[in-house]
């Protein structure tokens, strides 16, 4: 899975939570909670969806690493790789 | 014969529009089954049956707006076998939990022409498949062909969950259909009419401010024990089993409300009716600007895991425009939280006929004194708005303090 594919998955799952947001216009370095107005339940649903779709485990302690679009892509890419080793 | 009536979903509701039947004459229904969808100011509400029995006939056509209390259908209780079938009928089942009210004497049945077949709902449905509006919407949004789904609802009706299940099977979901790029403005659930919701909020809040003599209290609580306990518990759990701190807050409020009944119940007809059950209304923000506070039932008796699952389900359904009638009608106290961002305290407006609303601000790290030493602790500001016709600040202070005390021992919640 390339980073482009991962970004697409992340954007899709965020769009499931915030359907009215044009993800292409969201600053990839912005805090998603502010940028697309999601609350803690939304964020947990996002983590759950990524977990189910890509099979990676995201412990609570790592949540801060996924609060931006770029951060989420980087984190997921790293964990997809390490999962394959 | 029992009548299934247009329910009252809140003090401000006078009428509702029957949007869809999810059953047909002859279908068996039991207490709690969702049998119709009604459009109200609060959106489309899925209406549950209070009776167990068989749908005898419809009395109101789809698309009709009728006042609260209007009979919508007749339901024959289990024990009332049809006269013709009486001999062949199997022995009546064990009495239902809440037996339907005894049938009125068989005076002349209201003279009505036989109901015409229900008018087709506004949106076309695949032939033969009954589909809840929310399910149809989701299917449309995701490009799912309803005729390929087997419904699990009453009499094979396709429910939202059925469509969700199909979505969960990735192979069946055409990737391009999931891409949300096109027409994002069409994506909001059409059942949620935000203008109507704003009108309903305005009416309820204006009435509250006019009629309820509010008093307000606030109390700061160290929630570090909750955070530590949650971190430890969640560390070993997959995401769908993890708890949020809001669940601890809900449970603590419910347990405190059981101990302080002056904050749990309804003020109606110039008197307070305390409630045995604790049904906590959860204020849920709707994307795009709207707010509703449907009930989680019997919160004081649920485990934290159950409560989390119910809260997740309720929030999801509410935002999809799929609230059930019982959830709208009977919250006994409300909890509002503006989440982990935003403000440190919120002062709620009581939702009539309730008598109290508890607010939680965001958790902030503050210098705090413990055993004579200052250290950083996670602190939340709780507020209470309560009805002076029912309680005083003294009782309110004890109530808030009790919530704070309960939050010091999250493992006992």
Domain presence at residue B128: no
Quick one: how many helices (H) and strands (E) in chain A? 4, 0
Residue where one domain finishes, among candidates B75, B103, B122: B122
**What pLDDT digit, counting tens, does each position of B109-156 carry?**
444 444 444 444 443 334 344 666 666 666 666 666 666 666 666 666
CATH of the domain at B299: 3.30.559.10
Task: Please provide the DSSP assignment of B316-337 as one string.
Answer: HHHHTT-EEHHHHH--SEEEEE
Same domain for B250 and B327, yes or no, is yes
CB A69 within 8 Å of CB A10: yes
Cβ neighbours of residue B252 under 8 Å, at least 6 residues apart?
B403, B406, B407, B413
**pLDDT in tens for each of the 413 residues of chain B?**
888 888 887 766 788 888 888 898 999 998 888 888 888 776 778 888 888 888 988 998 888 888 888 999 999 887 665 544 444 444 444 444 444 444 444 444 444 444 444 444 443 334 344 666 666 666 666 666 666 666 666 666 676 666 666 665 433 333 333 334 444 343 444 556 778 888 888 888 999 999 999 999 999 999 999 999 999 999 999 999 999 999 999 999 999 999 999 999 999 999 999 999 999 999 998 888 888 899 999 999 999 999 999 999 999 998 888 888 888 888 999 999 987 778 999 999 999 999 999 999 999 999 999 999 999 999 999 999 999 999 999 999 999 999 999 999 999 99
**Number of domains observed in the structure of chain B:** 3
ipTM, interface predicted TM-score of the complex: 0.89
Quick one: how many helices (H) and strands (E) in chain B? 9, 20
Which range marks the domain in which residue B283 is found?
194-412
CATH of the domain at B176: 4.10.320.10
Same domain for B114 and B201, yes or no, is no
Given a cut of 50, is residue A74 above it in pLDDT? yes
Domain presence at residue B127: no
pTM over 0.90: no
Which range marks the domain in which residue A32 is found?
3-84
**What pLDDT digit, counting tens, does each position of B273-299 carry?**
999 999 999 999 888 888 889 999 999
CATH of the domain at A60: 1.10.1200.10
Using a CB-CB cut-off of 8 Å, the residues of chain B touching A48 are 239-240
Which of B179, B234, B340 is opposite residue A60, by nearest beta carbon? B234
CATH of the domain at B3: 2.40.50.100
Domain presence at residue B357: yes
Residue where one domain finishes, among candidates B90, B122, B154: B122
Q: Tell me which residue of B381, B390, B315, B326 sits closest to B348, measured CA to CA.
A: B381
- Shortest distance, CA B239 to any CA of chain A (angstroms): 5
Q: What token pair was written down for A10?
A: 């992340």
Which of B168, B188, B231 is opposite residue A20, by nearest beta carbon? B188
Same domain for B203 and B260, yes or no, is yes
Domain presence at residue B188: no
Q: How, if at all, do strands B34-40 and B271-274 pair? A: unpaired
Same domain for B63 and B163, yes or no, is no
Same domain for B118 and B154, yes or no, is no
Domain presence at residue B290: yes
Put simply, the answer to whether B240 touches A48 (Cβ < 8 Å) is yes
Put simply, the answer to whether A60 touches B188 (Cβ < 8 Å) is no
Domain presence at residue B140: yes
**Number of domains observed in the structure of chain A:** 1
Same domain for B142 and B246, yes or no, is no
Q: Tell me which residue of B162, B134, B158, B166 sits closest to B44, measured CA to CA.
A: B134
CB B133 within 8 Å of CB B44: yes
Same domain for B114 and B141, yes or no, is no
């Amino acid at each position: 899975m390339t980073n482009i594919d991962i970004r697409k998955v992340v954007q899709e799952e965020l769009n499931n939570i915030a359907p009215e947001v044009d993800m292409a216009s969201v600053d990839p370095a912005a805090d998603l909670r502010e940028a697309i107005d999601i609350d803690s339940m939304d964020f947990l649903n996002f983590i759950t969806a990524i977990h189910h779709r890509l099979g990676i485990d995201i412990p609570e302690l790592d949540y801060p690493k996924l609060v931006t679009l770029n951060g989420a892509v980087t984190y997921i890419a790293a964990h997809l790789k390490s999962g394959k080793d | 014969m029992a009548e299934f009536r247009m329910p009252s979903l809140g003090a401000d509701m006078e009428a509702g529009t029957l949007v869809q039947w999810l059953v047909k004459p002859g279908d068996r229904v039991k207490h709690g089954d969702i049998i119709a969808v009604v459009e109200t100011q609060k959106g489309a509400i899925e209406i549950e049956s209070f009776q167990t029995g068989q749908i005898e006939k419809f009395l109101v056509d789809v698309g009709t707006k009728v006042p609260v209390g209007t009979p919508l259908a007749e339901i024959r209780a289990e024990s009332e076998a049809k006269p013709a079938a009486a001999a062949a009928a199997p022995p009546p089942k064990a009495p239902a939990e809440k037996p339907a009210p005894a049938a009125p004497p068989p005076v002349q049945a209201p003279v009505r022409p036989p109901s015409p077949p229900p008018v087709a709902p506004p949106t076309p449905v695949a032939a033969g498949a009954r589909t809840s509006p929310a399910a149809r919407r989701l299917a449309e949004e995701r490009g799912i062909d309803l005729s390929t789904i087997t419904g699990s609802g009453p009499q094979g009706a396709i429910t939202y969950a059925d469509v969700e299940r199909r979505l969960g099977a990735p192979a069946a979901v055409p990737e391009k259909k999931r891409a949300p790029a096109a027409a994002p403005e069409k994506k909001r659930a059409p059942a949620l009419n935000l203008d109507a919701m704003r009108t309903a909020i305005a009416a309820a809040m204006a009435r509250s401010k006019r009629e309820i003599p509010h008093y307000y209290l606030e109390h700061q609580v160290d929630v570090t024990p909750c955070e530590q306990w949650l971190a430890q518990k969640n560390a070993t759990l997959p995401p769908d089993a993890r708890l949020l701190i809001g669940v601890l807050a809900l449970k603590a409020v419910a347990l405190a409300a059981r101990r302080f009944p002056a904050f749990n119940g309804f003020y109606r007809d110039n008197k307070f009716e305390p409630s045995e059950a604790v049904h906590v209304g959860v204020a849920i923000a709707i994307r795009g600007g709207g707010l509703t506070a449907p009930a989680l039932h019997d919160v004081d008796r649920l485990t934290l895991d159950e409560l989390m699952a119910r809260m997740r389900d309720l929030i999801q359904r509410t935002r999809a425009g799929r609230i059930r009638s019982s959830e709208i009608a009977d919250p006994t106290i409300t909890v509002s939280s503006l989440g982990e961002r935003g403000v440190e305290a919120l002062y709620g407006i009581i939702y009539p006929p309730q008598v109290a609303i508890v607010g939680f601000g965001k958790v902030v790290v503050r210098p705090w004194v413990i055993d004579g030493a200052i250290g950083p602790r996670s602190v939340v500001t709780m507020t209470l708005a309560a009805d002076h016709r029912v309680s005083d600040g003294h009782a309110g202070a004890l109530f808030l303090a009790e919530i704070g005390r309960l939050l010091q021992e999250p493992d006992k919640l």
